[in-house]
Amino acid sequence: MGSTGPGAVGPYELLVRLATGGMAEVFIARRAGESAGTGGSALDGASGGEPNGADGGEPDGACAGELDGADGGEPDGAGGGALDGEPLVAVKRIRADLRSEAGYAAMLFDEARIASRIASPHFVPVLDFGLDAGGAPYIVMELVVGVTLKHLTRPPDTLDVGDALDLIAQAAEGLHAAHEARDSSGELLQVIHRDMSPSNILVGVDGRARICDLGLAYALRRTTRTKTGTVKGKLSYLSPEQAHARPLDRRSDVFSLGVVAWEVVAGRRLFVGSSMLSILHAVLEREVPPLSSEREGVGAEVSAVVARALERDRDARWPTAADFAQALRAAADREGHAPSRGRVGARVDAILPEPLKPLAPSSGPGGPRATPAIIAALRSMHAAGVTGEADESGVLASRRPARG
């Protein structure tokens, strides 16, 4: 029986579109067998090629922003062939209108090569990449059934303090793994994420945080380069050195994650403004209130740990994201902030969009599993054009009603 999904790329049958935005579109997919198309490229680590200067403009990150879902286009897909119970995956490919731009393809493959070198349960893994039958590039990622930290903490919702601190510590551990990534010869890749924000931290129904989106990341062997003086990342989460367009190291990401930590505990934004200049001024100059003054029950120790991550002098910050994670866990423990991943997972599950809830029970290590019922449900969603909101990583996010 033929597929009723939106097509195929390489050996992957596309089942339903999750998002279109920035430079890419993302689909839930399954591996459909060798006959489904051209094979993907084996992941072989960071390329040592010469930089080509392609900057690719300012595409949104792999899971940044709030993107609309499926467009309900006509299915043209390839047949099945995958064994029931295999993991569903997220397939990300360059949007059709951008596929002639060589810079975008280079950025996507750079993202795949860098991510393939990061081994952490708190970083979304890239599983494969290649060119489809038409020569369009794609990458394949683990499908995370969950929501972004941004969705999970939309005001007036706040997380339990222990849960918030645990999620940030997990994200810091994933960030440290990225900073420590090495190429096949053992050389440090010097990865800097450059776009740490609540949109780029996924929280699954397992209560686990995962960092995603290396679309703006710097790495020593990256073939695409940012133009000198170009500021990358979301303004409210820039480090002071990013705001000044100065050379960066891993401590820039520590600052950005410190902003996220402050916000998810305090329940409000930290650096805001009515214009780009006013936001940058806030990043560089505005006093950061201690968390103990923002949230009842938060003590001096947790406040001090987050405050150190937010030092504008990077020499005064935590030297590594691992140090930040360790200090955060220790301070939370001493103040009695006990986390519960079950509680977090239940909250994530509660805000998944209703049509995609069937994926949650089959979600485990390696992502949700393909079953006949789930495949049929995803194909039906494609036919109906119903997917809810989504981020380009493949995270499934809820469409909430507007408040008052």
CATH of the domain at 89: 3.30.200.20
Longest alpha-carbon distance in the chain: 63
132 assigned to active site? no
Q: Are residues 114 and 174 in the same domain?
A: no
Q: Are residues 49 and 152 in the same domain?
A: no
Q: Are residues 245 and 337 in the same domain?
A: yes
The whole-angstrom distance between residue 146's C-alpha and the CA centroid of its chain comes to 11
**Structural domain contains residue 393:** no
Q: Are residues 174 and 127 in the same domain?
A: no
Q: How far apart are CA 256 and CA 166, in angstroms?
A: 17
Q: Are residues 252 and 326 in the same domain?
A: yes
Phi, psi of 330 (to 5 degrees): -65, -45
Q: Are residues 302 and 365 in the same domain?
A: no
Q: Are residues 168 and 227 in the same domain?
A: yes
Q: Do 48 and 142 form a contact (C-beta atoms < 8 A)?
A: no
Query: For each successive 10 residues of the chain (404 residues), what is the average pLDDT?
Result: 71 83 80 51 40 33 34 36 71 79 76 88 91 84 89 88 98 96 90 92 94 73 46 82 93 98 96 94 96 97 98 98 98 98 94 71 80 86 68 46 39
**Structural domain contains residue 181:** yes
Residue of 128, 132, 166, 195 with catalytic role? 195
**Structural domain contains residue 38:** yes
Q: Identify the pLDDT of residue 41.
A: 47
**What is the domain count for the chain?**
2
Q: Do 37 and 133 form a contact (C-beta atoms < 8 A)?
A: yes
Give me the CATH number covering residue 266: 1.10.510.10
Q: Are residues 315 and 250 in the same domain?
A: yes
**Structural domain contains residue 117:** yes
Three-class SS state of 137 = strand
Q: Identify the pLDDT of residue 85.
A: 73
Three-class SS state of 295 = coil
**Structural domain contains residue 404:** no
For helices 250-266 and 300-309, the axis angle rounded to 10 degrees is 140
Which one-letter DSSP state was computed for residue 239?
-
User: What range does the domain containing 134 cover?
Assistant: 7-143+352-384
Q: Are residues 13 and 115 in the same domain?
A: yes
Q: Identify the pLDDT of residue 40.
A: 43
- Element at 115 (helix H, strand E): helix 102-115
**Structural domain contains residue 23:** yes
Q: What is the gyration radius of the CA atoms in the chain, in angstroms?
A: 21
Q: Are residues 70 and 115 in the same domain?
A: yes
> What sections of 267-388 are H helices per DSSP?
276-285, 300-309, 321-335, 341-351, 372-384
Q: Are residues 101 and 159 in the same domain?
A: no
**Structural domain contains residue 390:** no
Q: Identify the pLDDT of residue 290.
A: 97
Q: Identify the pLDDT of residue 232.
A: 52
Q: Identify the pLDDT of residue 134.
A: 80
**Structural domain contains residue 286:** yes
Q: Are residues 244 and 310 in the same domain?
A: yes
